[in-house]
């Protein structure tokens, strides 16, 4: 089936304490976003790519492309004010049915095995969500204080959140709300049932300066 990848790079980098959005930070001498692209391109060079970029960062991106001789084919959609808007803008660029990987630009260490898991389950069931178990103990805070929860019932969600194109485009027709932290929650809110698959532990979301140290180490080792 035709494959698409919407690489979501809408972030402004505030949590990094850096002026450069984290998707553009160089790790192992190359911007994070290019690493993320590389994994998908190596997995299948026929994927059609849509990069969702903040409109005010297009110049920076073009300069980076020149510097790193990044000369691949992709479309650009503009980021919105929220992740929901950004993904919606990205999905609008897709005009035919198929399977779409919706990927955080700041997750450059997704494995080919995770991509295979996502693709296979989406072909069979219409969607796939990569998750990993939580190693640490987990506590929940509510109006009665905080208490231990059974961590075996909880999973951390990664990307690419993968969907049959028409199904996820339909879900994104619904009104945005604050509970949408990812595409699965949008899909679910529109009545869809989500299927989980195994993610990979290296598939971290580069969010804080500590993550850059980790990312540098992963680039060297992998």
Residues that bind a second copy (CB under 8 A): 129, 131, 134-142, 145-151, 153-158, 179, 181-182, 184-185, 188, 193-194, 196, 201-202, 205, 207-208, 210, 213-214, 216-218, 221
72 vs 154, which CB is nearer to a second copy?
A: 154
CB of 156 to a second copy, least distance (A): 4
Q: What is d(CA 162, CA 122) in angstroms, rounded to the nearest whole number? A: 7
CB of 88 to a second copy, least distance (A): 18
123 vs 140, which CB is nearer to a second copy?
A: 140
CB of 136 to a second copy, least distance (A): 4
68 vs 201, which CB is nearer to a second copy?
A: 201
Note whether 176 and 82 are within 8 A (CB): yes
CB of 213 to a second copy, least distance (A): 5
The residues, any chain, with a CB within 8 Å of residue 80's CB and separated by 6 or more, are: 10, 86, 88, 89
Residue environment code for 120-147, b if the CB has 16+ CB neighbours within 10 A, otherwise e: ebbeeebbbbbbbeeeeeeeeeeeeeee
Q: What is d(CA 53, CA 40) in angstroms, rounded to the nearest whole number? A: 18
CB of 127 to a second copy, least distance (A): 12
Closest CA to 101 of 76, 122, 78: 122
56 vs 208, which CB is nearer to a second copy?
A: 208
Q: What is d(CA 100, CA 119) in angstroms, rounded to the nearest whole number? A: 9
46 vs 152, which CB is nearer to a second copy?
A: 152
């Amino acid at each position: 089936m035709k494959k698409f990848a919407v690489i979501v790079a809408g972030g402004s980098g505030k949590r990094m304490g850096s002026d450069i959005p984290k998707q553009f930070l160089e790790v192992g001498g190359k911007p994070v976003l290019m690493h993320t692209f590389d994994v998908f391109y190596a997995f299948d060079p026929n994927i059609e790519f849509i990069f969702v970029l903040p409109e005010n960062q297009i110049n920076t991106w073009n300069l980076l492309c020149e510097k790193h001789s990044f000369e691949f084919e992709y479309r650009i959609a503009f980021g919105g004010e929220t992740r929901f808007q950004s993904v919606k803008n990205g999905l609008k660029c897709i005009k035919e049915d198929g399977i779409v990987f919706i990927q955080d630009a700041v997750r450059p260490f997704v494995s080919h095995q995770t991509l295979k898991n996502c693709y296979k389950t989406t072909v069979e069931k219409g969607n796939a969500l990569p998750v990993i178990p939580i190693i640490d103990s987990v506590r929940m805070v509510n109006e009665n204080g905080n208490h231990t929860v059974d961590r075996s019932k909880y999973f951390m969600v990664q990307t690419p959140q993968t969907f049959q194109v028409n199904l996820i485009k339909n879900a994104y027709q619904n009104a945005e709300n604050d509970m949408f932290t990812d595409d699965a929650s949008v899909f679910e809110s529109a009545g869809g049932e989500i299927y989980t698959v195994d993610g990979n532990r290296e598939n971290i979301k580069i969010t804080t300066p500590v993550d850059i140290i980790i990312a540098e180490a992963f680039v060297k080792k992998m």
